[in-house]
Structures are given as C-alpha cells and as structure tokens.
Amino acid sequence: MSAVGDLLAQLIALPTHQLAPDGTRGDERALCDFVAPLLRARGADEVTVTDCPRADGSPGAYVFARWGTPRRVINAHVDTVPPNTGWSRPPHTPHFENGQLYGLGSCDTKAAIAATLIALEGGVPRDRGVLFSGDEEAGSAAIQAFLATPAARDIREVIVCEPTARGAGIAHRGVIAQHAVMTSPGGHSSKADHLPRPVAQLARLATALDDIGRARLHDGPAGMTGLCLNLAGIAGGVAFNVIPARGELGWSLRPFPGFDRAAWHAEVARLAAAIDPAIQIVTDIDHPAFACSALAELVKPFVQRTGSLDFWTEAALIAEHGIDAIVIGPGDIGHAHAPDERVPLADLDWAVELFRALLA
C-alpha cells in the first residue's frame, strides 16, 4: 500500500467517534497529538494543539499548523460518527480490499488528513495553514473556537474537506431543528373540556408549519427550492383516559442560501403565540446555508463537476466569518456514516495532488 494509505490506516486505528450508544467515545486530542509532530517535521513555523470541549461536554481538540501568515488553509475534521450497525469487521481496524481502504472515518474525513500530510512532503509552503478540527459531527465547537482566535484573522480562503467524489461544493442548504413544548396540569380525562390540551394545540401548530412548507415549495434558487420542512414527531400522554401533562412537537427545515433565518424564527414565534401563548419554542440547531463560488477556478483542473451539495458542512460557518470557502475531498458521501465505510486508494492519490497544488 502507498504511504498515504499506510498513514490513513494509522489514523483509522485512533478512535475519534462521538458518543456511541454503548457509552464509548473517541479521543480527538490523541489524534491531534499524533499528527502534531508530523506537521512540525514538515517545516511548520508553529504547531499548536488546543483543547476544546465537544458539544456533549466531553474533551475535544484541534491542531493548527502555520507556515508564515496563512492566507489559505486546508481544513478537515478529526472526529467521526459512532460506528453504525452492520459492520462486517471491527470499524477501527483498517482493512484493504479491492482497491479500497475500509475503516470508520476512512473517507469522512481522515483520508483528507492523510492526503494533506503526504502532500506537505512535496515542499515547505508559504503563507499556508492546516487545521484539523474536532466536533464537526455534533456541535462544531472546535471550528467556532478557532474562528474566534487571532490565528484566523488573516485567513482569506479555506478548503473544507468532505467526501465529494472528486466534485467541488460551492453551495448547500443550512439546517434548522426546533421543538415546541406545552404543559398542562394534566388529570382525569373527564375534565378534558376545562383543562389545557397540549397535544391538540401542538397538532394545530404542526398543521400550520406543514402549510408553510407546502406554500413555499418554489421558494429559493434553482436546484434548491423549497424548505424541506419535516415534521419529525409529536409526543405526549400516557393513557387514553389521562390528560397529558406535557406535549412536545419536533420539526426541522433545510433553508436555502439567502433564506432569512431571523424572519423564520419570528414567524414561528407569532404562529405559536396565536395558537396558544403557553407554547414554548426551542431552537436546537441553527446552521446557516452556504454559497461561495470564489474558489471554483482554483480547483477546476482537479474536479469532475462543481455545484451544490445535499449535505451540510462547516464551510457555512467559515463563510459567515467573511472567509471564502469551497468543499472538496476524497471519498464519496454515500459511504460516510455507513457500515463498512471506505475510500478508494485512487482517491487518496488524487487528493495528494490536489492538496499539493493548493498548498503551493
């Protein structure tokens, strides 16, 4: 196997997964500490490993290396999702077969980390940086923390590494996840005519939200119309003859670039208040959409296509800080988060050449 494949195998063997159902979680700091000396050996002027707690409160980290004053940065995330069910072999045991390297995080996105490190062997870059950050699969704590540091101040371009099957992403939807809660004294169903009814009121809110989603099916830019509004579930109650003491409704939407998120939050608040002032709205996730075509020419010699992506990335958070970004990397998103996650070795070689050019 090639040098990049060997290095990727070592990264796969370092668990960095978010909290799993069995209670285990990976160690982002361990991977950052592993790659830090490799970055120093490649001539970096400074390499820093920073602790950064993940969204669930567990330890997390990022590692940043700079050559001069970085104007362009390659960013890949070190964390993975927990192992999905259905793996045919241990997910942290790298396995090579039929031109593919298997393992958790192999394409999402440890392949990009390995390819970046091998690309740096081609020469010492100038005014470039490398950021390997944690918590991408949960709360984006690491990238948010880094963007708030002085080290991010002079950065103008970021290559955000995600498995794009040799394409380049210049736009994608955002993610908003919300839930509504309504409480009641509860009690015997014989008193239902005279007590608040959380489930009924939340059902009215659900119908109203669905009406908005249907009315806006044609909003948005070509190829990204509609809100993708999803009513995820409504819950409450314990028996047919018990008035629920609490009801909860959950929903999400995938806003297109240019979507007015503040106006949406205000609209939902007005809608809920009109149905019942006792309804409380909680926003769990509010990720912006992404659109930036400034770097498309930069990667044009290496890509098969350029366009929008159907998944969210931290490029949206980077762009919100006024930094141009593009999404590109080895592997296919169809293999990410899936059992027997894998990346073609040919994609690793392609990524090495891509990153070598971007670091030049």
Q: Which fold has domain 175-287?
A: Alpha-Beta Plaits (3.30.70)
Q: Comparing 67-71, 174-178, 240-244, which segment has the lowest mean pLDDT?
A: 240-244
pLDDT tens figures, 8-42 = 999 999 999 999 999 999 999 999 999 999 999 99
1 confidence band (pLDDT: 50, 70, 90): low
At residue 280, what are phi and psi to the nearest 5 degrees? -110, 135
Report the percentage of the chain scoring pLDDT > 90: 94
54 confidence band (pLDDT: 50, 70, 90): confident
Residue 307 CA, distance from chain mean position:
18
DSSP for 23-79, please give it: S----HHHHHHHHHHHHHHTT-SEEEEEE---TTSS--EEEEEEESS-SEEEEEE--
> Does the global pTM surpass 0.85?
yes
CATH 3.30.70.360 residue window(s) in the chain: 175-287
CATH 3.40.630.10 residue window(s) in the chain: 3-172+289-359
pLDDT average, residue stretch 190-197: 91
What's the pLDDT at 343?
98
Query: Which residue of the set 28, 46, 121, 136 is catalytic?
Result: 136
- In this predicted structure, the answer to whether residue 3 has a pLDDT above a threshold of 90 is yes
pLDDT average, residue stretch 71-95: 97
CATH H-level, domain 3-172+289-359: superfamily: Zn peptidases (3.40.630.10)
Would you call 136 a catalytic residue per the annotation? yes
pLDDT tens figures, 233-269 = 999 999 999 999 999 999 999 999 999 999 999 999 9
